[in-house]
C-alpha cells in the first residue's frame, strides 16, 4: 500500500508538470518573468531539508539542477549572448545534467560530512568548471556539431540531441537496475521521474522558462521523496518491514468506538536467540511478521521485541476469531530451515494471542490493550500456541471457557 501511494503522487506531479508546461506561453508576462527564479527557491528548500536529514545524494542532485538553470540564465542574459548559450552551453549541459544525476545516484550515501566523498564531489565540480572555461575560450566546431546532432532531423516537436538522448536513456536504465536490485527506496523512484521531466524539458529546445518550470517540479519531487522516506523510516520497523509502535499509536487516533485488538507473541523466542544466535531470531521475526501482515480486515504492527499487535476496525471478536485462528495455524504450519555450523536445522514457530474488544466499559485504547495483553499472558500460562479472548467482565475462572482455538479442535 505504501508503495502504491508513493507511485501515485509521483505520477500525479509528473503529469501535472508536463501538462502545465504547455500552458506557460499563455500566462501573463508578469508571471513568466518570475518563472526563472522558482527553481532556486525549491532547490534551496530541498537542500535545507537534505542537510537536516544528513543526505548527500539529494543535495548533489539538487545542486546539479540549480547550476543547470543558473548557467543557462546567466550566460543567455549576459554579454556572452544567446547564441553561445543556445548553440554551445545548452547542448553540453543537456549531456552533463543526466550524467551528473547518474553519478550522484551511483555514489554511496555517506552523509554530508564525509571528507573523502566531499573531496571527490569537489573534484567533479572542478573538472566541470574547467570544461566550461574551455568552452568559453573556444571549442572546435566539429565537437559541437557532434553534440548537436538531433535525434530526428527537421522535426520541430522533439529538439533533443542524440548525445543528450543517449545519456538520459543510460541514466534511466541504470536507475531501473538500481530499483530492481535494492529494496524500495524513494530517492531512486524520484530520480527516475526527475530524469523523465528534464528529458521532456530538454526535448523542447532551449527555453529558460520551460526548463525552469521542469526544474522546479523536479526539486519539489526530490524534496517530497526525502520527507516521505523520513516518515517511512520513523513509522516502519526496519527489521520486519511492517509498521511500528509509533504508527500503531497514531492508528488508534483514527479509530471509532468499535474495534478489536489482538496482542501476539512468538512462543519461546528467547530460545531461538540463545540456541541459534540473533540472525536466526531475526529471521523468525521476519517470517512471522510476513504471515501476520497478510491478515484480512486488520492492520498489523510490531509492538516491540517479539510482540505484535493486530487492530481490526469496526469489527467484533466473533467476526475476527476465525481469521486469527487461521493466522495462528498458518504460523504453526510454516517450517523454518537454517544452518548452524555444519548442521541443517528445521523447526516450527508458534504464537500465542490475546484478544479484546472495545465497549462502553472498556472504551480507551489503554484499557483495550491491557485487556488483550492479559489474554496473551493467560495464553502463555495455559500452554502457548492458542488464542485467548479476554472480556472485561470475565473472571479468570471463566476465561478458560473461551480458550480452545488450539490446533486439532
Which residue ranges form the domains of the chain, and what is each CATH number? 2-235 (no CATH), 245-402 (3.30.70.270)
* pLDDT for residue 408: 33
From the first residue on, what is the mean pLDDT of each consecutive set of 10 residues in the chain (409 residues)? Answer: 76 95 90 91 96 94 95 81 76 91 90 88 89 72 69 62 89 90 79 95 90 96 93 87 90 86 92 79 89 92 93 92 92 78 77 90 85 92 90 43 39
Name the nearest CA neighbour of 330 among 354, 349, 343, 306. 349
* pLDDT for residue 156: 54
* pLDDT for residue 330: 92
Q: Provide φ and ψ at 258, rounded to 5°.
A: -115, 110
* pLDDT for residue 184: 57
* pLDDT for residue 7: 84
Long-range contacts of 371-378 (CB under 8 A, 24+ apart): 371/261, 372/261, 372/262, 372/263, 372/309, 373/263, 375/263, 375/399, 376/263, 376/264, 376/265, 376/307, 376/352, 378/354, 378/403
* pLDDT for residue 97: 95
* pLDDT for residue 139: 66
* pLDDT for residue 81: 67
* pLDDT for residue 395: 37
Q: Provide φ and ψ at 260, rounded to 5°.
A: -125, 140
Name the nearest CA neighbour of 52 among 9, 111, 7. 111
* pLDDT for residue 87: 75
Q: E strands within 341-402?
A: 343-348, 351-357, 387-389
* pLDDT for residue 112: 87
* pLDDT for residue 394: 46
Amino acid at each position: 500500500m505504501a508503495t502504491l501511494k508513493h507511485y501515485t503522487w509521483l505520477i500525479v506531479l509528473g503529469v501535472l508538470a508536463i501538462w502545465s508546461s504547455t500552458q506557460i506561453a499563455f500566462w501573463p508576462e508578469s508571471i513568466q518573468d518570475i518563472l526563472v527564479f522558482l527553481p532556486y527557491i525549491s532547490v534551496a528548500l530541498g537542500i535545507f531539508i537534505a542537510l537536516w536529514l544528513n543526505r548527500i545524494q539529494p543535495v548533489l542532485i539538487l545542486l546539479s539542477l540549480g547550476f543547470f538553470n543558473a548557467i543557462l540564465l546567466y550566460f543567455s542574459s549576459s554579454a556572452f549572448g544567446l547564441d553561445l548559450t543556445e548553440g554551445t552551453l545548452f547542448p553540453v549541459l543537456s549531456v552533463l545534467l543526466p550524467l551528473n544525476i547518474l553519478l550522484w545516484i551511483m555514489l554511496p550515501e555517506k552523509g554530508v560530512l564525509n571528507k573523502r566523498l566531499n573531496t571527490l564531489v569537489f573534484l567533479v565540480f572542478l573538472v566541470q568548471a574547467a570544461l566550461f572555461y574551455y568552452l568559453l575560450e573556444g571549442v572546435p566546431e566539429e565537437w559541437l556539431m557532434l553534440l548537436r546532432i538531433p535525434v530526428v532531423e527537421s522535426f520541430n516537436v522533439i529538439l533533443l540531441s542524440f548525445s543528450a538522448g543517449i545519456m538520459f536513456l543510460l541514466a534511466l536504465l541504470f536507475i531501473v537496475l538500481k530499483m530492481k536490485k535494492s529494496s524500495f527506496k524513494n530517492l531512486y523512484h524520484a530520480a527516475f521521474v526527475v530524469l523523465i521531466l528534464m528529458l521532456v524539458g530538454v526535448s523542447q529546445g532551449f527555453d529558460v522558462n520551460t526548463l525552469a518550470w521542469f526544474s522546479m517540479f523536479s526539486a519539489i519531487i526530490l524534496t517530497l521523496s526525502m520527507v516521505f522516506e523520513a516518515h517511512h523510516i520513523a513509522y516502519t520497523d526496519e527489521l520486519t518491514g511492517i509498521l511500528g509502535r509509533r504508527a500503531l499509536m497514531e492508528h488508534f487516533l483514527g479509530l471509532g468506538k468499535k474495534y478489536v485488538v489482538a496482542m501476539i507473541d512468538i512462543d519461546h523466542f528467547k530460545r531461538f536467540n540463545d540456541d541459534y544466535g540473533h540472525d536466526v531470531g531475526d529471521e523468525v521475526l521476519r517470517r512471522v511478521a510476513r504471515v501476520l501482515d497478510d491478515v484480512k480486515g486488520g492492520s498489523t504492527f510490531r509492538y516491540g521485541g517479539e510482540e505484535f499487535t493486530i487492530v481490526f476496525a469496526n469489527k467484533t471478536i466473533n467476526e475476527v476469531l476465525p481469521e486469527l485462528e487461521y493466522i495462528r495455524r498458518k504460523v504453526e504450519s510454516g517450517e523454518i530451515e537454517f544452518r548452524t555450523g555444519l548442521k541443517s536445522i528445521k523447526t516450527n514457530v508458534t504464537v500465542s494471542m490475546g484478544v479484546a474488544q472495545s465497549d462502553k466499559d472498556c472504551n480507551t485504547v489503554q484499557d483495550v490493550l491491557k485487556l488483550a495483553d492479559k489474554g496473551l499472558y493467560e495464553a502463555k500460562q495455559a500452554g502457548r500456541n492458542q488464542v485467548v479472548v479476554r472480556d472485561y467482565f470475565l473472571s479468570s475462572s471463566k476465561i478458560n471457557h473461551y480458550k480452545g482455538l488450539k490446533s486439532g479442535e
